[in-house]
Every structure is written in C-alpha cells, then in structure tokens.
Amino acid sequence: MNAIDTLWILLCAFLVFFMQAGFGMVEAGLVRTKNAGNVLMKNVIDFSFAAIGYFIFGYAIMYGSDEPLVGTAGWFMFGVESPLEGVPVEAFWLFQAVFAGASATIVAGAVAERMKFSAYLLYSFIISAFIYPVVGHWVWGGGWLADLKFHDFAGSTVVHGLGGVSALVGAWLLKPRFGRFTNDGQPRAIPGHSMPLVAIGVFILWFGWYGFNAGSTLGFSDPELVARIALNTTLAPAVAAFSAMSVSWMRYGKPDLSLALNGVLGGLVGITAPCAVVNSGSAIFIGLASGILVVFGIDWLNRLKVDDVVGAFPVHGICGIFGTLAVGVFGSTALGAPLQGLLYGGGFGALGIQALGVMACLGFTAISMFVVFKAIDAIFGLRVSHETELKGLDIEEHGMESYSGFQIFTTE
C-alpha cells in the first residue's frame, strides 16, 4: 500500500466533504429566515442519499467496467478492486462519493423556498445513484468520451455543469417564487436573510476546492502538478471576484457583495476542468471571464423569468461549460493535456471534442432531469402550496423555526 497517496486522497476527500457546509451556508444565507432550515435539511439529505445511492448503484455504474456507456459490475461495492495501485478501494470510493454529493446539492439553492421536501428526497437519490454516475463513467470511468480524449480534470462539466443544468431544469419547471417578478415581468429582488453566512460559506467552498481540484491528481507522486493546480485554484477565483465586482459596479452603480461572492464560485468552477493543464496566465483569463459570465448569466435568467434563488446555473452551469471549453483553447500537452489547445497550435480538434463532450453530458442531463422532475411532479407534486410558501417551509414542512422567536409571517 502507498501510504502517502492514500493519505492525500483521504485528506482531499475530507476537504470536499466539508464543502457541504459551505453549500449549506451559502444557500441558507440567500433564502429568507422562514426557509433556512428547509434548505439546510436538503443539504444534509443530499450527502446522506449520495453516500447510500453511490454505494449501492453509483460506483458500479461509474467504475464497474469500461463499457462505452455504463459500468455493469460492482453493485453494493461487491467484488470491486481499486483502480489505483497502492490505494484501498474504500479511499477511492470516498473521494468519488463526495463528488456525487457536491453535484446533487447544487440544485437545492436553485429550487429553494418552493419545492416540496418529499419531492426533493426522490430527486436527490436519483441524481446521485444514476444520473451523475452515467456522465462520470463517460468521462472518468473508461467510457466513450474518455476514448475521444475529452478532458475534464476535476469536473467543470461532470460535477458542476451537471448540477447547474439540473438546477436550471428544476427552477424552470417549478416556476418563480410568489412576488419574484412583477405583473409586467420585471424582476423584483427577494433578499436573503444573511450575507455574513453567504460570505463564510464561499470561503469554506474555496478552501474545500483545493481538495476538489488538487485531490483529483489521485496521488502525490508529482508535487509540481499539485502545486500548479493549487496556484490556478487561487488565481482564477481571485480574479473572478474582481471582475464580477467591477461589472456590477459599472452596471448598478455600487459593488455588489453577492455578485462578487458568486464571482468567486464562478472562477472556481471555470478553472476546475483545466486546472492541471493550463499555466497561470490562462488561469487569470479564465477567472476574469468567469466572473463576467456570472453577472450576465444572472441577468439572462431574469429576462427569461427563471427564478434561480442562488444563481446556481450561471455559476455552475455557464462557468462549467466555459471552463470545459477552455481546455480546448488553453490546454497544453506539455502540462498534461491529451490534445494541444487552439492557442498552442492544436487547431480546433481539441475544442471540438470538448464541445461535443459538453453537449453530450449536459444534453443527457437536461433530458434525464426533465423526465425525473416530471415523474416526481406526477407522483408527489413538485411545488408546495401558496399558503406554505407564504408561511415558510420551515414551519409547514418541518414544524420548526430556524430562528426561534424571530419568525415573521406574511399573508400577501
């Protein structure tokens, strides 16, 4: 057994697991007090169901065999062997399971304040046990995209794009919260209750992202690679925070904290796919563009009257797509890219494969999640009643308050 590699993978898995707390704080801070407990409960269930579903079905589908479409062996982890020499399969499983949980929990923020808890339970299990593992198998499990040399090092598309597109489908089908848009279709802000919680959550996510990206080396045999990934995972979100803040300042007259924080997350998502195969200059450009994309992505959703409470699709969907395509532009074979990027004389071959992979993965996700949400709607109903939405999901669905004694009810 290789103790160093095993320790590295486990420590990074623990960091990615801690990102659940970051997601929970961001989402809780961006909803109203009457719904904070509900969104936190969904975060708890996301990882719980991800661990169970990925143990029973997900790992087998993702890594059970190297068939082109899905794995076909290893249900309940029975008879599986580690794909990494010297690393126990249990360590490898844990690292993959926390990724599945991260992808699932992205949706919680987009559908917050109006989705039934019972409906969310079923969604959470299905995406972790079946949808995410299929896409993961195509890219990381020896599937058809891996054969084409599609490159998504740590999951801009596999994890974040999948979660972002699922969030978009869910938010669109649920329709906006009551009062989110005026009668003539103009967006009306519904402020979250705690920006300090959001800020703390973003810093936790940034911290955990070092495990997300650097841990995807799946070993510590190449310290230079780990260091480069860590550098890029610092530069891209830092620049993205600045670009998102600057654009919001120019457009709205004041630097907006929520947009700057979402810019950080957009930069992290954007650098996730190319983090190992681009230099620091490319990482800076990717971060710059990601922060801008977040701001305009939120405006775009407002024009479409899609109520994404936390900006999950602009952050994880749009920046996930951009980051994956960036591999085909900035990727360097000298740094480990499977194909030379456009700017290094590789032509459009790598970019074309990246675009094909994005369309295949996210097209499959969109269609699958549309069917899943529609089926759940037919069985349980997706949306809470108007009265429940007004009173808050904490009281109506869980019989408790997040802030006892501070609840304020509205009846209009």
Distances (CA, A) of 224 to 152, 219, 221: 19, 12, 9
Structure tokens at 355: 């675009």
CA distance between the termini of the chain: 63
C-alpha–C-alpha distance, residues 337 and 381, integer Å: 45
Map residue 187 onto helix, strand or coil: strand
Structure tokens at 396: 């109506």
Q: Please state, for a pLDDT cut of 70, what percent of the chain lies above it.
A: 98
CB 331 within 8 A of CB 340: yes
C-alpha–C-alpha distance, residues 90 and 82, integer Å: 8
Cβ atoms < 10 Å from Cβ of 19: 24
Band (pLDDT 50/70/90 cuts) for residue 405 is: confident
Q: What's the CA angle centered on 164, arms 163 and 167, to 5 degrees?
A: 85
CB 153 within 8 A of CB 273: yes
Residue-level pLDDT at 408: 60
Residue-level pLDDT at 7: 98
Express each pLDDT in 118-149 by its tens digit.
999 999 999 999 999 999 999 999 999 999 99
C-alpha–C-alpha distance, residues 13 and 16, integer Å: 5
Domains of the chain: 3-398 (1.10.3430.10)
Q: Is the pLDDT of residue 404 over 90?
A: no
The arithmetic mean of pLDDT across residues 175-203, rounded, is 96
Among all chains, which residue has been given the structure tokens 């040399």? 149
Residue-level pLDDT at 156: 98
Express each pLDDT in 359-402 by its tens digit.
999 999 999 999 999 999 999 999 999 999 999 999 999 999 99
The arithmetic mean of pLDDT across residues 334-354, rounded, is 97
pTM of the predicted model, to two decimals?
0.97
Express each pLDDT in 306-332 by its tens digit.
999 999 999 999 999 999 999 999 999
Distances (CA, A) of 186 to 181, 183, 189: 5, 7, 10
Q: Is the pLDDT of residue 410 over 70?
A: no
Rounded to the nearest 10°, the torsion over CA 176, 177, 178, 180 is -70
C-alpha–C-alpha distance, residues 265 and 270, integer Å: 9
Element (H, E) at 58: none
C-alpha–C-alpha distance, residues 105 and 124, integer Å: 8
